[in-house]
Structure 1
């Protein structure tokens, strides 16, 4: 890339006795003899020459050893701004088509073409490299790393386990126990929240179970369908995105690990994820906000009107509302193609869900301890092989769920395998997105995208402001595209190398200032959840509307003021001060407190439990 420094590995079968250098454009870049390190195979030595710069349309790179040119190659040079096109095209195409997979694929293909200097033959070769090089190596890296496939296997196992405990009634049994707590409007809303927290491990399972289970109860208590959809939506993606065990964790760790590998930061992906959790302001504060709404019985904006309509007039939906329902068995099909449904007549026992989930959590904790080293929890987790622990947990979780189902005679083996496969299909789509995101990450690294961004923004944007700006960017992209997964896949590979380079330029690329890196990771995840939470084209928003029996547009219209409020608090009180070094243990509690105060002093009481909750004088409509 013209004018952007790059590095070149130089390998030798023997330790060079004479100077080794790269010559390009009349400039000479030497590798000092003491920088050569032994190759893994022990057959030679490798050194990395850094800060090589080339200009013009084409450049000739010459490898010089002992005063003699040993190798020479001509490489094309492209303008720096072109390196932004693959990621930007992925975003724009996704905005226009609402399709993430084709958008990411085209972004990778375009970048592959750029590696051939945008030549005509390069169109064909770049297209072939999209599959043969970038997508294939995203799953099976040339270095033999198993990390990507470990993430894929765990996520598929997790989805399979959810399929089993959904069909055998275990998840529904938990729902029924929590629903029995509901005796008035306030307790019903709190019970709905509680059920959402209990089904923390999957966004889709959460939305489908909570909405369908609690809808008859909330209708009886004259709680609007818009409120039910809001509670369902607010305890689905926000909770699953920060849970240490969920269908999200493998995807998130895969993105983090791949992006961190590009900067050489020495910390495990799981440790970075845990350190980034306190900087996930939006999901955490959104959970506090929705619980406060339920506990205080207060609302504001369009939601207040909807709640008063339901409480005072008995209309749980607007008169002209267009309501879609998922009452029919086998009709709980996610947009991604997985079918999750409850087997008719099955004996529902909560142990069939609780035990597999407990096995998952315990196995992950044990796996981190066994594979980690050190004297403190931080040291153990930081050095642990998190992906290996997740694979162990996924396997034992599936075996536990299947074994319990088989022993109790709830389903024959053939049906257990079928339910496992249906659950697997529910997460297959996100695995495709993740693979393409890995490919786009490798593409961005090959095109030196982060280096170009640093050269443009390095002197204009302080690293301290970047977390807040990235939140706004990821929120906008996620809202427009309708998927948090696709947004994370596009932005994470760009943002982490960018923030690290800016930190290096500012002389703060060290462990003391690692909170900026953690905040960057956390804020991309949080911003993606905000957009997914509010977007009318988001799959989780649609599923929440359907499972709650709410008019979809009414759900979006009543929820957005709450999401905007939480988002604004997260930026103003959370991300901006944190970027300037205020510890999260100060900013996060303050943001949570602000959310509670907004509900208390901005919200208005809908109605009293004495007047509506206990009486139930007239049925809701």
Structure 2
């Protein structure tokens, strides 16, 4: 109530500050006809200024011609922030997550706080519906409520998941260590990162891990910590193509073309210290050799091994209990191939669409797998009533997790609209020693991603601001290796964003890791954040040391 009252007061008494963000689009754009000259622009002269009123123009594409006739295009976008009050919705949501351990209440509190801060009192019409009535919102409902819930319900009804677990136990798994190793290898194998990896690995390994008394806290940590980090280390996915559009620097030859920028991304992989340590730490956990365990994780390991209880007493797993076992009719014989065929379709369609279409189509992958699993179950003799019953039980089993995921998307959008990332960069982008900047960028992006729940959104906010600042700082400091220095700063941004996204309780991958493995959301956050923070600390130290050698 205090937070709501504070946000209402700030919303009524504090006006947002506007700034015009400038991003270079390079020398070519898709539709040059949309660009206007700098002389005709209403925003060009406002760059770098702090505005108290709303700019007349919301967005512009401007072309600038130099003395040699070379044309360069810029995107000008007005962005607003409420100063440090911009973080009030995210702070409210995260604080309530830790206090109440109940994500729906916490996220709803953050959403209400953000609505009051922005003076949008019709929360349903101005906040919820615009955020959810989008392509991404509909995609979340279809994928995680219909497709994921349906296929998990079918696997529970036809016994395919249990049959797969028994097969793996007989041939591959010989205890908790090998069960966790299977999860780790699958996490590395599905290196597309993000939602596809967390859902696929979690749903595949959970039956095996449950059988071997691997706690859901352990499994969710392995699944989450090999999703985005491995996508950084094996970037044969959509990440470089997205990031390259954000890192163009005018006048810098080695970032002049799209292929140059993608090559720059690939070349920074050895500097992704956090991602390397995150994947390594999960491997050490598989062998019970990770020294940086939180007390909660240690208790979870002891509890599951000694009592067989996979969740903490009083926890609220995001996966319904009815989906953790099998409810197979007496006259139906389960078969492991009913698990392998849909799983093979998920992998094959996702990889195939990535190769031929440029990005993995997760909806096609899970949709085709659900249809094939359903018809195989009917062909093998299960009644239509039982098969549809499995589907509906699966839908009911993931409703709670889907609601949490949708609310996390809304609060992430609110956090971006309030401009916390823009404010942080505006405050700290000053004259600092060059060796401080990599860690500063790491910490800032960690905070932005943690408070917004998105790494890609953090890239979009930070990279257009960080790259020019890092390059200018390296040149002004007279560094012997300015390109290496720029690579360090870039790696710090990428890895800091991944850490914040991975550890945030309002991140979609955090929610999905908990949902797919049947873990309590806050149990997952609390047990993961300790080893992840140790990895981030070591990574920051490494970047600082290398930055000093650049001089």
**3-state secondary structure, aligned to 1:349:** coil
Q: State the Cα distance separating 1:403 from its structure 2 match.
A: 2.1
Q: State the Cα distance separating 1:323 from its structure 2 match.
A: 8.6
Q: State the Cα distance separating 1:300 from its structure 2 match.
A: 9.4
Conserved? CA contact 1:281–1:570, under 8 Å: no
**3-state secondary structure, aligned to 2:340:** helix
**3-state secondary structure, aligned to 2:43:** strand
**3-state secondary structure, aligned to 2:364:** helix
Q: State the Cα distance separating 1:368 from its structure 2 match.
A: 1.9
In structure 2, relative to structure 1, the CA distance for the partners of 1:460 and 1:422 (3 Å cut) is farther
In structure 2, relative to structure 1, the CA distance for the partners of 1:174 and 1:138 (3 Å cut) is same
> 1:524 corresponds to which residue?
497
Residue 352 (structure 2) aligned to one of 354, 366, 382 = 366
Conserved? CA contact 1:174–1:350, under 8 Å: yes
Instruction: For residues 512-547 of structure 1, give each alpha carbon's deviation from its aligned partner in whole angstroms, at most 9, with x where no partner exists.
Output: 957755653443333454576xxxx99978998989
Rounded Cα–Cα distance in structure 1 between residues aligned with 2:140 and 2:294: 42
> 2:469 corresponds to which residue?
505
Does residue 343 (structure 1) correspond to residue 349 (structure 2)? The answer is no
Rounded Cα–Cα distance in structure 1 between residues aligned with 2:109 and 2:300: 40
In structure 2, relative to structure 1, the CA distance for the partners of 1:489 and 1:174 (3 Å cut) is same
Rounded Cα–Cα distance in structure 2 between residues aligned with 1:193 and 1:307: 14
Conserved? CA contact 1:207–1:543, under 8 Å: no
Q: State the Cα distance separating 1:232 from its structure 2 match.
A: 3.5
Q: Which moved more, 1:427-436 or 1:53-62?
A: 53-62
Rounded Cα–Cα distance in structure 2 between residues aligned with 1:527 and 1:322: 26
Rounded Cα–Cα distance in structure 1 between residues aligned with 2:498 and 2:441: 11
Pairs within 5 Å for 1:374-523 = 384-386=358-360, 389-410=361-382, 412=384, 413-422=387-396, 424-425=398-399, 427-440=401-414, 443-444=417-418, 447=419, 449-459=420-430, 463-466=437-440, 468-470=442-444, 473=447, 489=453, 493=457, 496-507=460-471, 513=486, 516-517=489-490, 519-523=492-496
Conserved? CA contact 1:160–1:424, under 8 Å: no
Rounded Cα–Cα distance in structure 1 between residues aligned with 2:54 and 2:313: 62
> Which consecutive residues of structure 2, in runs of 5 or more, have no partner in the other structure?
1-14, 23-30, 59-78, 188-197, 232-236, 250-257, 474-481
TM (norm. structure 1) is 0.54
In structure 2, relative to structure 1, the CA distance for the partners of 1:198 and 1:525 (3 Å cut) is same
> 2:131 corresponds to which residue?
138
Instruction: For residues 389-414 of structure 1, give each alpha carbon's deviation from its aligned partner in whole angstroms, at most 9, with x where no partner exists.
Output: 22221221221222222222345342
In structure 2, relative to structure 1, the CA distance for the partners of 1:198 and 1:133 (3 Å cut) is same
Q: State the Cα distance separating 1:468 from its structure 2 match.
A: 3.9
Instruction: For residues 193-232 of structure 1, give each alpha carbon's deviation from its aligned partner in whole angstroms, at most 9, with x where no partner exists.
Output: 24545886538647863554123xxxxxxxxxxx756644
> 1:329 corresponds to which residue?
none
Conserved? CA contact 1:101–1:433, under 8 Å: yes
> 1:380 corresponds to which residue?
none
Does residue 170 (structure 1) correspond to residue 160 (structure 2)? The answer is yes
Rounded Cα–Cα distance in structure 2 between residues aligned with 1:323 and 1:240: 22
> 1:191 corresponds to which residue?
178
Instruction: For residues 427-473 of structure 1, give each alpha carbon's deviation from its aligned partner in whole angstroms, at most 9, with x where no partner exists.
Output: 412431343045325513xx5x4443322110166542145425864
In structure 2, relative to structure 1, the CA distance for the partners of 1:60 and 1:453 (3 Å cut) is closer
Q: State the Cα distance separating 1:153 from its structure 2 match.
A: 3.3
> 1:291 corresponds to which residue?
286
Conserved? CA contact 1:496–1:517, under 8 Å: no
Q: State the Cα distance separating 1:284 from its structure 2 match.
A: 1.0
Q: State the Cα distance separating 1:93 from its structure 2 match.
A: 4.6
Does residue 568 (structure 1) correspond to residue 534 (structure 2)? The answer is yes
TM (norm. structure 2) is 0.60
Instruction: For residues 283-318 of structure 1, give each alpha carbon's deviation from its aligned partner in whole angstroms, at most 9, with x where no partner exists.
Output: 412321112327x9x9999799989999xxxx9369
In structure 2, relative to structure 1, the CA distance for the partners of 1:304 and 1:159 (3 Å cut) is closer
**3-state secondary structure, aligned to 2:121:** helix
Conserved? CA contact 2:503–2:525, under 8 Å: no
> 2:95 corresponds to which residue?
95
In structure 2, relative to structure 1, the CA distance for the partners of 1:176 and 1:243 (3 Å cut) is farther
Does residue 160 (structure 1) correspond to residue 150 (structure 2)? The answer is yes
Does residue 334 (structure 1) correspond to residue 334 (structure 2)? The answer is no
Residue 179 (structure 1) aligned to one of 142, 163, 169 = 169
Q: State the Cα distance separating 1:354 from its structure 2 match.
A: 1.9
Rounded Cα–Cα distance in structure 2 between residues aligned with 1:508 and 1:160: 53
Conserved? CA contact 1:233–1:541, under 8 Å: yes
> Which consecutive residues of structure 1, in runs of 5 or more, have no partner in the other structure?
9-35, 41-45, 64-78, 114-125, 216-226, 245-251, 327-331, 372-383, 478-486, 583-621
**3-state secondary structure, aligned to 2:471:** coil
Q: Which moved more, 1:46-55 or 1:425-434?
A: 46-55
Q: State the Cα distance separating 1:497 from its structure 2 match.
A: 0.9
**3-state secondary structure, aligned to 1:5:** strand
In structure 2, relative to structure 1, the CA distance for the partners of 1:135 and 1:500 (3 Å cut) is farther
Instruction: For residues 538-560 of structure 1, give each alpha carbon's deviation from its aligned partner in whole angstroms, at most 9, with x where no partner exists.
Output: 9978998989xxxx99x999x68
Does residue 237 (structure 1) correspond to residue 220 (structure 2)? The answer is no
**3-state secondary structure, aligned to 2:339:** helix
> 2:111 corresponds to which residue?
105
Q: Which moved more, 1:455-464 or 1:335-344?
A: 335-344
Conserved? CA contact 2:292–2:531, under 8 Å: no
